[in-house]
Amino acid sequence: MEISPIRPKPLPPSGRTQLSESRDTEALQRSREAERRVAEAQREAEVQLEHVRQANSQQLEDEASRGEHAIATEKNKGYETLKNLQRAQQAELAKAKREGEADLARVQTHYRTAVTTAEHQGRQELDQSRRTLAQQTEYEKKANQLNLEEIRKQNAAQFSQSKELGDQKAQELIESTRASHERLQQLSSEANERAEQSFVTRFQEKTAEQNSILEDIRERAGGRIKEIRQDTAAKLAAYSTRQKDPFYRMIDLGATLEDQGDHYVLKATIPGHEQKHVSVSIKGDHIVLSGYRRNEEKLELSPGRSKGTATYQSYHESFPLESPVEARQLSRAFDGDELVVKVPKKSYSTTYKPHQAKKIERARVESPQFPENLPVAKKEGRSSSEDEEPRTSRKTIGSRTLG
């Protein structure tokens, strides 16, 4: 803390005298002396304050060192107490282990003695049982041999009697069977003659009936073939005209599938405005590329009059996969208008058999199938009910559905 010196106010120049000047000089000297003493007192106070700070710092360090020493002493005492407890516990465990081993040895000795005694008694009882069983077996064997000899003698006598009776009955049965066979042979010959005459008659009747039916079938088949030819010609004409329409033409995406060792790469050309409608999936042992396109147009001809059209096409294309693939790791990307699909193969080696179309064998010739909305040729000489042909299921040609 600094104390500002007290300075006397100067007298006006007009009232100054020699005495006042000496007094001013003396007062100035006293003020300077007072300033010096104040400065010295201030320096001494600062020195004493520094000494007090150092003494406090030293005292704090001493207290901290004494506290750390006391903590270390308590830790050592705790470690020593813990070691003593561990040694006491180990001594108790060793004592309990020795007592348990002694008890176990006594139990094992008692058990071995008991087992030895039981084995000895069991062997004696087993020997006694074997001797008793051998005696009983020998006695029963002799008794069974005597009974067997008696039964053999009785069976021999009964067999002789049965053989004599059997020979007599066999001779009687042979004579009876011979007479019955002669009668049956005579009756069978008569029945065969009657059946042959009846068969010839029925065969001639059935032959005539079948010839009539075949002639009727030939006439009906000729008329049906003529109708099918007319209908087929009309449908082919309509179908060839329809194929010239761009809407019904097959969509070619230029898709190719390449096997690049550990993965397959499918590439196809997809215009930018159709890329969001394209999907690729794995179905069984095939990779399927599918999508659709839609177009709507509307034209205002005049106020209140307009016309419009909407077209929709779906397409798909599939490729067989000769090896199993990881369907969940399928990835696709677009490089301009080119779609690139990558499918990794599975790690284990399992070879799929290439897709083979099933052979369809037909026992009869059928008329070709056409879309339902094609015009049908009129059939002459048939009623309206006969003109109605059964509806056929929709046929898929390539990647588009007709009908």
User: pTM for the complete prediction?
Assistant: 0.31
Q: Which two tokens stand for residue 302?
A: 């005049």
Taking CA 132 as the corner, what is the angle to CA 129 and CA 137, rounded to the nearest 5 degrees? Answer: 120
Looking at 13-22, 145-154, 160-169, 328-337, which range is the least confident one? 13-22
User: How many residues would you count in the chain?
Assistant: 403
Instruction: Band the pLDDT of 243: cuts 50, 70, 90.
Output: low
pLDDT tens sequence across 316-333:
899 999 889 998 999 989
pLDDT at residue 32 is higher than 90: no
Categorize the per-residue pLDDT at 266 as very low, low, confident or very high, splitting at 50, 70 and 90. Answer: very high
Q: What percent of the chain has a predicted confidence (pLDDT) above 90?
A: 10
Judged by DSSP in three states, 304 sits in coil
Judge whether residue 358 has pLDDT over 60. Answer: no
Q: How far is it, in rounded angstroms, from Cα 108 to Cα 116?
A: 12
Task: Say yes or no to pLDDT of 388 above 80.
Answer: no
Chain position carrying tokens 């070709």: 368
Number of other residues whose CB lies within 10 A of the CB of residue 289: 23
As a whole number of angstroms, the distance between CA 367 and CA 377 comes to 14
Give the per-residue pLDDT at 372: 57
Contacts of 314 (CB under 8 A, 6+ apart): 290, 291, 292, 399, 400, 401
281 falls in which pLDDT band (50, 70, 90)?
Answer: very high
Give percent above pLDDT 70 in the chain. Answer: 78
For the chain, what are the domain ranges? Answer: 253-299+307-354+368-377+396-403
Let me know if domain 253-299+307-354+368-377+396-403 sits in CATH 3.40.50.150: no
What pLDDT is recorded for position 244? 61
Amino acid at 343: V
pLDDT digits (tens, 9 = 90+) for 282-293: 998 999 999 988
pLDDT at 361: 44
Express each pLDDT in 81-97 by its tens digit: 888 888 888 888 888 88
SS3 305: strand
